[in-house]
Each structure stands twice: as C-alpha cells, then as structure tokens.
C-alpha cells in the first residue's frame, strides 16, 4: 500500500530546533510566570518526564538508605547504627524495635510508590511515548502536568510522616488491619499511617491521570503509518501497563478510603467486633481483616506487573539495538505482555495462601499463578532468540539489559516455589519471598531502568554518559546485588522470617548471623556504587560529550528527532513505513533502516512490508 504523500507541512514543527533547556532560544517574556510555565508547570511531556526522573531518582536514594538501616539491624541487631543511632543517643545508638518496623515499611513504600511506579510510567512513559509514536506531545498536556504535580503532595505526605509523633507508618507496606487500623496497636498507627494512606491516594491519582493520558495518546495520536503492530515493545508495554493501572488502581484507592474511614470516622470495615489492642477499647466492629487483604492484593498484584512490564518493553528494544537484530517473535511478545496483564488480575490470592481464607482458594489461585509463569517464560525465550545470531555490542546499556534477562530468570523461577501452595506453607513470609521480589524488582526492573537511562540519556540531554564509568557502575552493582539477594534464597530455605528486628534468639536461626553480615556488606557496597552513577549522571548532563540524533544507530522514531528534541519533537511530521526492528536487513548497505525510511530505500521491501 502506498504511503500517504508528504504533506505540505514541510513547515518545520520545531521553531528553533534547540534544546528545551536553552532560554535564549525563546523570546524574552515576563520572567517569573514564563519560568514557571516552562520549567516548573510545564506541559511539555519531555520536561514532565525529566521532572519525574529527577524526583524518583532522589527518592531511590532515600529508599536505598532506609534499606541500609534495615540491613544493619538484621546483620548486627542492637548495635550502634551509623547516622540513625544519633536518634537513640540515650541507648548508645541502638534503634528501638518499632523504629525497625518503620524502616522496612517505609523502604518498601518509598521504593514501590515513589520510585518504581513513577519512574517507569511517569519518567520513561512520559518522555518516550510521544517520541516513539511520532506525536508532538501527549493527548492531554495539562492533565500530564497535573499527574506530575500530584506526586508532590505524595512526597510531602510520606516525607512529613517521618517527623510526626509515632513516626512514619510501620505496619508493613501491606498495611494489614488490625495493626494499621487500630491506633493503639503500634506507635505509627496514628498520624504516620494516616499520612501514608493520604500519600498513597495522591500517587494513585497521579497514576490514573497518567494512564488515561497514555492510553488516549497511544490509541489516537500515532503518526501516519504507525499501526499498532509497528509499535516498539516499549510502547506496547506502556500501553498495557496503562490499562492495568486504570483497572486496578481504583480498587486500591477505594480500599485506602475504607481504611482511612475506619481510622478517622470510626467505621469498622476491617475490624472485628470487640477488638481490644494494647488495652484500648476498639471502635466499631463487624468487619473482617481479610477484606483488606483481598482488596489490597487485587490492586497490588497487577501493580507488580505495572512495575515490570515497562522495563520488559524497554529491555526488548535495547536488546535489539545492540544485537543489531529484529526482536524474535514480535507478536508472541505482544501477546505475552497482554497475557501477563490479563492473568495478573486473577492471581492475587497467592499472597494470601496462609491468611485464613478458604483453603479451596489455595487450589484455584495455585493454578492461575502457575500459569502466569508461562508468558514470562515465553518472553525470556524470545529474548534469547533475539540474541542468537546477533552482533552484540557490549555497551553499558546493553549490559544492564542483558542482566535484566539473566536476573529475571532467577526472579521468575523462584516465583514457582511460592506458587506451589504446599511449599508456600514453609516459605511464606520468609526471606525466600524477599529474594524473589528483589530479584524481579531490583535485579530486574531497576537494571532495566538503568539500561533505559544510559540508552535514552543522549536523547534527553543531548550528551552521552561516560561508558567506562557506566561499566564500572554495572559491574559493581551486578556483583553486589547478587551477593546481597541470591543468598536470601538460602535464608528462606532455612525459614528465616521477614520483618524480624532480631532473629538470632531462635534456635533455628541462631547460626545465620555471619551470612547476614556478608549480605549487609554487599548491600553497603551496592549503595556506595551508586555514587558513581550519580556522578556520571550529573557530570554528563552538563559536560558529557555532545551526542548526535542517533548515537546508537537505532531505528525507532525518537532517534529521528534532535537530541534533545524541542517543542513539538520532530522537524517534520514523521511518516512511518516500516516496523521497529529493521536491523541488519539483508541487501541493505546500512545495518539499520529507520522506521521513517521510505519503502523504496530498501531492496528487501518484501520482508519489510510483511508487517
């Protein structure tokens, strides 16, 4: 089919073609309001994406430091903790047990709600979606701006909760009643928990605004010729993630309101009658703690897929670029993502096998959970197929993408143990679970995020990051993360429980302190290594070598735009003629064809036109 003629819009869309950050490119207008609307309350998806990126990377640091404090206590219980110990000077620096419960609660809450979810959808989704589909911005720029600024009340709530009486939330990030609903049951079940719930609500609103935007943009604003099956995997992943957000989040928000209502209005959704905690008489009853678990996990299970699918998509794209090969099994990959998302709605009960719900559900959820391993396995095999027969370039970005595959295999396989309900009797709430989710979320998604940062940094800032230091960063992170998290599988096999401030007074776990000390050393190394990344990132933003439009010789649409793109993104309206992975096309001299390259530019159009 012949492509539509190039429109008379030979008029450039971008006025100056300069980087967004150059104030000189704009006509000087009223100082403050112009500054605010360009850099603060910007409606440009790229600026918003960068705002998300900077904010989430900062919270990543905070979440990582919280984790270090957790690891310190686990390795050397009741010893003088660095930095944190100053808060406990009376007792010689040893933390109190409720402080420990706050640490792991806030570590998880910050990482999940303020880092992983916003960095994938908010930072990369925002930055990449219009660029990769050939649009000039999102469908709803104002909504987009609001979706970022709704994160700030969330930041404020979570941040402030550390300083209120009783401290930040300490009922676990899962916030199970009646520990979290009854203010007498834990010091932080007062103001801290309320702020946590409010923060969660704001994150939910931000995510829902974003997901509406992404779905609409992807469906309606694709460039001419960009059919759904010519979309890069990044976009497919973002699209399906947005659908997941839209369907799952309202349940969490509703549950959050119910818990707020229990705590502030005296309702009893989750409190059984006559619940007396810490000698304080409970409020209304007639409710069920299990109700919260069902509602919470109905969202939080799709949430974990929200936290990995975009990374899977981005990794797929990055692997193809640096293997110089098309993606192996494009349609099966798309169907797998859809399968993961769809199945993701019917597996939530696997978090509740021991909860006291009807044990017959242990059977049904076991089957659906086992089946959800299937699409992930298919994806892994397809990634391997993508590498087979390629010409692999070991750039930093590629190394992180490869490690995503390697680590995701571990995380995915360990999931099978806990899907097996009888085995879960033993490993539920042990470090086996902790190992599993840290492999998929940190060794998986975070590695994917770093791959994406190193990959799209030139597009974002017009400069490349330093490759040598990037590889040092990768190497050290890879070593330390495996040292920290792989051994957690062993701890889990012993039955070492989660969330214990001091496990060594049990006979069963008495001998595990040296292993935990080793893991803490690795964790300290891992966080220290990130200094290299921070330095590389900040330094390269201002003084890195200038990058051209397409430093990686990739073929997707964003690489036709300037680095960084100006308002409107593209010099000319892109017209798409081929799919996203046209690398090493036989019979073509260049080793890649851009998606916008006209069909007659390749002798092997037959192969290309099959899409």
Partner 1 sequence: MGKRLAGIFWSLLFLAVPVLGVATFAIAPAYDHWLPKDVSEHGASIDSLFYFILALTGVVFVVTEVLLFWFMWKYDEAKNQGEATYIQGSHTLEVVWTIIPAATLLFLAIYQMNAWADVKMRRPAMSPTVEVVARQFEWRLRYPGRDATLGTADDLFLVNDLHLPIDEDVLVQLKSMDVLHSFFLPNVRIKQDAVPGMKIPVWFKAREAGSYDIVCAELCGWGHYKMKGRVTFEPRAQFEAWLERKYAEQGTTQPPPEAADVATAQ
Partner 2 sequence: MNTPFAMLRFTLLLAVVVTAVGCGKTPPASFRLNMVQATKTAAPESGMEKPWATWARERQGQVATILEAMYGTPDDPVALAETGLDLAKLKLAAGPVRSDIVGRKNGLYREHCVHCHGISGDGMGPTAAFLNPYPRDYRPGKFKFKGTWRDARPGREDLTRVLHEGIPGSSMPSFALLPPAQVDALVEYVRYLSMRGETELALYTYAEQELGVDDTLPTTKEFLVDEILTPIVEKWQGAEDARIPIASVPGNVDFTKPGDDPANRESVARGRALFHGDGGCVKCHGVTALGDGQANDYDDWNKVIVEWSKEVTGGLGSTQDDAGRTAWLHAAADVIEGDALRPRTIPPRNLRLGLYRGGRRPVDLYRRLYTGINGAPMPGVGPSGPGGKGSVADAEIWHIVNYIRSLPYEFDGELGADRPMVAKDRF
Q: Given candidates 278, 528, 531, 545, which one binds partner 1 under the rule CB under 8 A? A: 278
Q: Supply φ then ψ for residue 430, to 5 degrees.
A: -115, 180
CB 408 within 8 Å of CB 485: no
| Rounded Cα gap, residues 259 and 262, in angstroms | 5
Stretch that binds partner 2, among 91-99, 303-311, 328-336, 377-385 (CB under 8 A): 91-99
Structure tokens at 533: 């990344």
Residue nearer to partner 2 on the CB measure, 185 or 560: 185
Residue 69 touching partner 1 (CB under 8 A)? no
The footprint of partner 1 on residues 529-558 (CB under 8 A) is: none
Beta strands in 267-323 (DSSP E): none
Q: Given candidates 159, 225, 283, 495, which one binds partner 1 under the rule CB under 8 A? A: 495
Residue 36 touching partner 2 (CB under 8 A)? no
Shortest separation between residue 546's beta carbon and partner 1, angstroms: 24
The sign of the CA dihedral 569, 571, 573, 576 is negative
Dihedral angle of Cα 263, 268, 272, 275, to the nearest 10 degrees: 40
| Rounded Cα gap, residues 69 and 84, in angstroms | 8
Residue 544 touching partner 2 (CB under 8 A)? yes
Partner whose binding site includes residue 2, from partner 2, partner 1, none (CB under 5 to 8 Å by kind):
none
Q: Given candidates 254, 354, 528, 546, which one binds partner 1 under the rule CB under 8 A? A: 354
Binding track over 153-182 against partner 2, x by CB under 8 A: -------------x----------------
The footprint of partner 2 on residues 339-378 (CB under 8 A) is: 356
Q: Given candidates 416, 534, 604, 609, which one binds partner 2 under the rule CB under 8 A? A: 534
Residue 58 touching partner 2 (CB under 8 A)? no
CA distances 200 to 155, 195, 205, 439, 482, Å, are: 10, 8, 9, 24, 31
Q: Given candidates 49, 63, 64, 77, which one binds partner 2 under the rule CB under 8 A? A: 77
Q: Given candidates 19, 25, 34, 80, which one binds partner 2 under the rule CB under 8 A? A: 80
Residue 374 touching partner 1 (CB under 8 A)? yes
| Rounded Cα gap, residues 528 and 472, in angstroms | 12
Shortest separation between residue 420's beta carbon and partner 1, angstroms: 5
Contacts of 390 (CB under 8 A, 6+ apart): 323, 324, 325
The footprint of partner 2 on residues 391-420 (CB under 8 A) is: none
Q: Mark 4-16 as b/e (b = at least 16 C-beta within 10 Å).
A: eeeeeeeeebbee
Residue 468 touching partner 2 (CB under 8 A)? yes
Partner whose binding site includes residue 371, from partner 2, partner 1, none (CB under 5 to 8 Å by kind):
partner 1
| Rounded Cα gap, residues 226 and 219, in angstroms | 11
Partner whose binding site includes residue 366, from partner 1, partner 2, none (CB under 5 to 8 Å by kind):
partner 1
Q: Mark 294-322 as b/e (b = at least 16 C-beta within 10 Å).
A: bbbbbbbbbbbbbbbbbbbbbbbbbbbbb
Contacts of 32 (CB under 8 A, 6+ apart): none
- Longest distance between any two alpha carbons in the chain, whole Å: 81
The footprint of partner 1 on residues 113-172 (CB under 8 A) is: 170-172
Binding track over 384-423 against partner 1, x by CB under 8 A: xx-xxxxxxxx----x--xx-xx--xx--xx-xx-xxxxx
Where does this chain bind partner 2 (CB under 8 A)? 77-83, 85-86, 88-94, 96-99, 166, 184, 186-187, 272-275, 278-280, 285-286, 356, 466, 468-469, 502, 528, 531-532, 534-536, 538-539, 543-545
């Amino acid at each position: 089919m012949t492509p539509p003629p190039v429109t008379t819009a030979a008029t450039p869309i971008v006025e100056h073609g300069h980087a967004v950050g150059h104030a000189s490119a704009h006509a000087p207008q009223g100082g403050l309001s112009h500054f605010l609307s360009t850099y603060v309350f910007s409606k440009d998806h790229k600026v918003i994406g960068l705002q998300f990126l900077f904010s989430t990377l900062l919270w990543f640091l905070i979440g990582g430091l919280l984790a270090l404090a957790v690891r310190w206590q686990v390795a050397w219980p009741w010893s003088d903790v660095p930095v944190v110990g100053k808060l406990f000077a009376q007792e010689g620096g040893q933390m109190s047990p409720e402080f420990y419960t706050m640490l792991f609660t806030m570590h998880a809450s910050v990482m999940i709600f303020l880092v992983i979810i916003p960095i994938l959808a908010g930072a990369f989704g925002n930055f990449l979606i219009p660029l990769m589909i050939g649009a000039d911005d999102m469908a709803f720029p104002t909504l987009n701006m609001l979706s970022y600024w709704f994160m700030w009340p969330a930041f404020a709530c979570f941040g402030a909760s550390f300083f209120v009486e009783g401290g930040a939330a300490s009922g676990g990030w899962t916030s199970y009643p009646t520990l979290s609903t009854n203010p007498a049951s834990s010091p932080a079940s007062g103001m801290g928990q309320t702020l946590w719930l409010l923060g969660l609500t704001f994150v939910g609103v931000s995510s829902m605004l974003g997901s509406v935007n992404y779905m609409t943009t992807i469906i309606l604003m694709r460039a001419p010729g960009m059919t759904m099956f010519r979309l890069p995997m990044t976009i497919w992943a973002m699209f399906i993630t947005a659908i997941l957000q839209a369907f799952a989040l309202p349940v969490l928000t509703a549950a959050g309101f119910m818990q707020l209502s229990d705590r502030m209005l005296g309702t009893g959704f989750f409190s059984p009658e006559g619940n007396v905690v810490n000698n304080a008489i409970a409020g209304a009853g007639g409710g069920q703690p299990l109700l919260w678990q069902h509602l919470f996990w109905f969202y939080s299970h799709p949430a974990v897929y929200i936290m990995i699918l975009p990374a899977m998509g981005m990794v797929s794209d990055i692997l193809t670029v640096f293997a110089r090969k098309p993606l192996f099994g494009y349609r099966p990959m798309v169907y797998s993502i859809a399968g993961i998302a769809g199945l993701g709605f019917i597996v939530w009960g696997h978090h509740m096998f021991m909860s006291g719900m009807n044990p017959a559900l242990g059977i049904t959820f076991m089957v659906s959970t086992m089946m959800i391993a299937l699409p992930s396995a298919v994806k892994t095999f397809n990634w391997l197929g993508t590498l087979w027969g390629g010409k692999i370039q070991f750039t930093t970005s590629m190394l992180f993408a490869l490690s995503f595959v390697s680590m995701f295999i571990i995380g995915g396989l360990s999931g099978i143990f806990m899907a097996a309900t009888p085995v879960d009797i033993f490993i539920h709430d042990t470090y086996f679970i902790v190992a599993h989710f840290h492999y998929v979320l940190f060794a998986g998604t975070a590695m994917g995020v770093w791959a994406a940062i190193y990959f799209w940094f030139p597009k974002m800032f017009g400069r490349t990051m330093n490759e040598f230091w990037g590889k040092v960063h990768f190497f050290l992170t890879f070593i330390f993360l495996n040292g920290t998290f792989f051994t957690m599988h062993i701890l889990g096999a012993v039955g070492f429980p989660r969330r214990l401030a001091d496990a060594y007074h049990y006979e069963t776990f008495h001998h595990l302190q040296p292993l935990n000390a080793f893991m803490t050393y690795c964790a300290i190394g891992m966080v220290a290594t990130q200094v290299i990344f921070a330095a590389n990132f900040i330094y390269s933003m201002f003084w890195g070598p200038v990058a051209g439009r397409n430093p990686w010789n990739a073929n997707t649409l964003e690489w036709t735009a300037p680095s960084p793109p100006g308002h409107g993104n593209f010099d000319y309206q892109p017209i798409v003629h081929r799919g996203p992975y046209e690398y090493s096309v036989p019979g073509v001299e260049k080793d890649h064809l851009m998606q916008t390259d006209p069909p007659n530019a390749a002798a092997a159009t037959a192969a290309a036109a099959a899409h």
